[in-house]
Chains A and B, each alone.
Chain A
Amino acid sequence: MSGNFFSSTLSKAIEWARAGSLWYVSVGSGCCGDEVMETVGCRYDLERFGCVPQVNPEQADLLIVSGITSYKAAPHLRALYDAMLSPKYVLAVGACASCGGAFSPESSYSVVAGVDKIIPVDVYVPGCPPRPEAIMNGLITLQEKIRGYQRTQTEA
């Protein structure tokens, strides 16, 4: 078959399956890592949403970054992201992963001002640290983004 090929129905089925089986690797370099572990644990049970922890980045779809990233760790985080197979997504958990938080850029020489300086981020979860409900909300937002849904915006 030559030329471009596009099947919208099949794509929707693939996206549906992809959003429902987000296998992840987690990089916990700060206290937000504890909240991620709590989210994975029995009380909140992230596996309900099809999220299964992985140790091999080649088998993972999602990279959860929680905590600060230093300049020394930056190339290793980039290498981890590069080792993942496409399509791949990144969830930045907490203020430090999102923008450097309390440590950067004004107050620390060594902390990167957000992991989006190194790798593309799909969803940011604010908080210092965010509660497990917020992390789950970030994950559901990512799933909806993969499925192509648009959330209803609530008026403030």
Chain B
Amino acid sequence: MDTNELKRKLEIKGAGSSLKQSLAIDVGSLAHTAQFLRDEPNWQMDDLENISAFEMKGDILLTYFLKSSSTGKTMVLRATVTPKTETSEVDAVSVSHLWAIAIPLEQEISELFGVRFQGGKTRPHQVLPEGWRGFPLRKSYVFPIEFASIKHQRHEHE
């Protein structure tokens, strides 16, 4: 059963026409795929709605939500990056040259998850305060004992 046949069957089962296209792609081909989807006349994905990230079993899943303002079509791209260690940074490809709205989204993911977007415009510490160490939304992240001489615990004995 191919994807289109599955989609037709699900629509008959009651999912309706709300089903969206979703592509799981390799992170290396992300920029090329995104550019193709933006420039292809049949798709014209000229709008990036959001980039989300979450960590699952050591992998960081990046999800790109695309939309075409002319055709109304939507699409989801998903790419996975795997850090070498629990605390190390990992590389991905930036799409900020295709959609400018990607700049703040990549900035946030960069600081909170430790994903370096190659070719992007991320700068150190826009979301987190200066001097912050580690990536807070990683599963392995341990809360600081203190930051900027402020103890994180309420009481000394905790």
Chain-A contact segment, one of B17-25, B66-74, B150-158: B150-158
Question: A149 on the interface (CB 8 Å rule)?
Answer: no
Min C-beta distance of B64 to chain A, whole Å: 26
CB neighbours of B150 from chain A (8 A): 71, 74, 112, 117-118
Tell me the residues in window 137-158 of chain B with beta carbons closer than 8 Å to chain A beta carbons: 141, 143-144, 147-148, 150-154, 158
| A113 contacts B151, C-beta separation under 8 Å | yes
With A105-B153, A113-B153 known to touch, is A74 a contact of B148 (CB < 8 Å)? yes
Q: Are A100 and B154 in contact (CB under 8 A)?
A: yes
A109 near B148: Cβ-Cβ < 8 Å: no
Residues in B114-151 with C-beta less than 8 Å from chain A: 128-129, 132, 136, 141, 143-144, 147-148, 150-151
Q: Is the CB of A71 within 8 A of B147?
A: yes
Given the known inter-chain contacts A71-B147, A105-B143, please indicate yes or no for A113 contacting B128, CB distance below 8 A: no
Q: Size of chain B's interface in residues, with CB distance under 8 A?
A: 15
- Which bucket holds chain A's interface residue count? 10 to 19
For the complex, would chain B's binding face be called helix, strand, loop or mixed by DSSP majority?
Answer: loop
Which residues of B are at the interface with A, using a C-beta cutoff of 8 A?
128-129, 132, 136, 141, 143-144, 147-148, 150-154, 158
Docked CA distance A112–B132 (Å): 14
Q: Least Cβ distance of B30 to chain A in Å?
A: 29
Give complex CA distance A129, B75 in Å.
42
- A residues in contact (CB < 8 Å) with B: 70-72, 74-75, 99-100, 104-105, 109-110, 112-114, 117-118
